[in-house]
Amino acid sequence: MAVQFFNTLSRRKEQFNPIVPGQVGVYTCGPTIYNFAHIGNFRAYMFEDLLRRYLEFRGFSVKHVMNLTDVEDKLIRACRETGESLKKITDFYAQAFFEDIDTLGIQRAHVYPAATDHIPEMVDMIKKLREKGHTYEENGSIYFKLSTFPEYGRLSNMQMESLRAGASGRVDADEYEAEEARDFALWKAWDEEDGVVFWETELGRGRPGWHIECSAMSVKYLGPHFDIHCGGVDNMFPHHENEIAQAQCATGQPFVNYWLHCAHLMVEGRKMSKSLGNFYTLRDLVEKGIDPQAIRYTLLATHYRQPANFTFEAAEAATQALRRIRDFRIRLEEMHGDGDMLEQECRKCSDEFTDEMDDDLNISGALGAVFNFIRDVNKKIDEGIVGSQGAANALALLDRLNHVTGVFAPAVEAAAPQEVLEQVAARQEARRNKDFAKADAIRDALAEQGWIIEDTPDGARVKRV
RNA sequence: GGCGGCAUAGCCAAGUGGUAAGGCAGAGGCCUGCAAAGCCUUUAUUCCCCGGUUCGAAUCCGGGUGCCGCCUCCA
C-alpha cells in the first residue's frame, strides 16, 4: 500500500505523491510566541511531528518549515501592558517553546522563520499583489481584494456570500476599514497603539497582517508550489484560505497539494478554558508529576482528525502502557543463548504498523499492532524459546518504530546506586537462607526509596518505581 | 443564521456494509516462598436515540438529542 492522506481540499483520502519524487516540503503553522503554549497546541505539533517522522520512515527526505509569529495584535498589546520590548517577550517565549518541544521529544523543524526577520519578503509579496491588482489601500493600510480571487473559500467550503460580517461578535463591523468586512489586511498602517512596533518600508510605516507571513515564508523556504501544509482545523478559515489567495495571486502558481488539518483537544470532556479550570500548559502537567513521555503518548494516541479528550485517567493509562513497553525491552535485553529468531512476529508487526500508518497515519491501529507483537513475544519468552538474536531482532524493530512514534524507547533512568545493590544482595542472601521475613523487609524498605525488586530465574531485577 | 466534525465498555480509543483491534482499570487462574513482571480466561448480544434501505449496518439514508470547531488574526 502507498501512503494516503486525507486532503482537506478534496475531503477524501488521496494517495500521497510528492512533486519531486522522494522529497517532501512541509509547512506547519507554528506558535504565536506571546505565552506558554498549551497542550492543545502541542497536540497539533505532535501530529506534525508524527507526520514528518513517518514520511522519513517511508523513505522520503523531508524539509519541514514551521513559522514563529512574533508580531501580531496580542503581542503588541502585551508590549503596551508590560512595557517590555517586543523582542524581549518573543525571545523569552520562543525559548520556552523550544524547551517544551524538547520535553515532548518533538523533532526540530529544519527552519523556524520568524515573521519579523522576513519583513522584506512580505513587502515584496504585497507589492506583487498590488501590481497585479489584488489590493486596495485605505487609510494607509493595504487590503486584499477578495473579489479578485474567485477560488476563495474552496478549502474550507465557505461560500463568500454566506459569510456574515462580524458573526463571531469579535469585530465591530462598523469600525472596519476594509471595503468589505471579508477582505483582510496585508499591511497595517501604524497607529498610536502600536507604539514602537513598526517598520518603515516602501508600503509606508506599519506592520504586516498576520496571514502574509505564512505565504511569504513558505514560498521562500519551500518554493511557490510545495507538498504539504498543516495546521489546526481552526486555521482552515480564514488563515489558510488567505494564504492560498495571497500565494497563488502573487506567484501565479498552485500553492499546496495536500492540506492536513488536526482536530482539537478537549480536556476532561470539556473544551479547554481557563474559566472551567481545565486549561493546561505542558509545564502545568509536568509540575503535576506526569511523565512527559506519557503526555506525548496521550497526545499521540488518538488519530489526528478525531477530536481527542485528554483526561488524567488517560495520562495514567499512558504511563502504564509505557511501563509495559519498557518492561518488555528489559526482558528482551536479558535474553541469552540460541533460540527463536522472532522473524515472523517482527515481520507481522512491521507490516501491520506500516499498513495502518499508510492509511492517513492511523496511529491507534499501529500501536495496536505493536501491543499484539509485545504479547506474542512475551508468550514465547515465557515458553523459554527466545534467544539473544531473536531478542535483538525485536529490539531493533522497536527502535525503528521508536523513530516514528517516540514511545518505544527504553526507560531513561539512573542505574541503581551501590547502597541499593548491596541491599539487593543482602536480600538474596536472606532468601537463600529462607529468611523470608528479612527478605521482604528489605524489599519493602527499598520500595519506600523508590526501587522495585523483581525476582527472575536469573536473579533479582532492580527498577525505578 | 451558514459551514464542518464527533458520539463505540468504568476511562482512552481503532474499526465505516459481513457479524466489535489495542492500552489502562476490574475479576478469576497459572507462575512465585510471598510479590512484581509475564501469560491465560473474563469484562460492549452491542456501537447516543427513533425510523428506513439491505440476506446482513456500529458502518449507508432520513429525523432527533448532545458535545466540539469555524464564520477577521485561536492548534
Please give, one letter per residue, the 3-state secondary structure of A114-167. Answer: EHHHHHHHHHHHHHHHHHCCCEEEECCEEEECHHHCCCCCCCCCCCHHHCCCCC
Q: Quote the crossing angle between the two packed helices A418-432 and A436-448, to the nearest 10°.
A: 160
In this structure, are residues A370 and A401 in contact, taking their beta carbons and an 8 Å threshold?
yes
pLDDT at A164: 47
Which residue ranges of chain A lie beneath pLDDT 70?
160-181, 414
Helix (H) or strand (E) holding A228: strand A226-232
Nearest to A104 by CA among A375, A358, A298, A364: A298
**DSSP three-state, residue A97:** helix
Nucleotides on chain B that have an atom closer than 7 A to a protein CB are 1-7, 10-15, 21-25, 32-40, 67-75
Looking at domain A4-262, its CATH class is alpha beta
Q: Shortest CA distance to A240 belongs to which of A11, A5, A29, A30?
A: A29
CA-to-CA distance for A253 and A138, rounded, in angstroms? 28
Nucleotide nearest to A28 (CA to C1'): B75
DSSP class of residue A239? I
Give residue limits of the domains in chain A. Answer: 4-262, 270-405, 418-464
Rounded (5°) CA angle A265-A29-A278: 25
Residues 328-347 of A with CB under 7 A from strand B: 328, 331
Strand-pair partners of A7: A12
Per residue in A134-181, pLDDT (tens digit) is 999 988 999 999 889 988 989 998 876 655 444 433 333 344 455 566
Q: In the structure grid, which three cell numbers stand for residue A304, read together?
A: 489526528
According to the model, what pLDDT value does residue A119 have? 97
Question: Which bin fits A225, alpha (ψ -120 to 50), beta or left (φ > 0)?
Answer: beta
Q: Is the CB of A456 under 7 A from strand B?
A: yes
Q: What is the pLDDT of residues A8-66, one digit of tens each?
A: 999 999 999 999 999 999 999 999 999 999 999 999 999 999 999 999 999 999 999 99
pLDDT at A165 (0 to 100): 47
- Can A4-262 and A270-405 be said to share one CATH topology? no
The residues of A between 116 and 155 with beta carbon within 7 Å of nucleic strand B are none
- Give Cβ neighbours of residue A19 (< 8 Å, ≥ 6 apart): A25, A225, A226, A227, A257
Check residues 419 to 448 of chain A and report those whose beta carbon is under 7 Å from nucleic acid strand B: 431, 436, 439-440, 443
Determine the pLDDT at residue A171.
Answer: 38
Q: Which CATH class is domain A270-405?
A: mainly alpha
Question: Cβ(A98)–Cβ(A55) under 8 Å?
Answer: no
Q: Give the CA-to-C1' distance from A186 to B14 in angstroms.
A: 43
Residue A271 approaches strand B within 7 Å at CB: yes
A374 touches strand B (CB under 7 A): yes
- Please give the nucleotide, over all strands, whose C1' is closest to the CA of residue A157: B3
**Does at least one atom of strand B sit less than 7 Å from the CB of A249?**
no
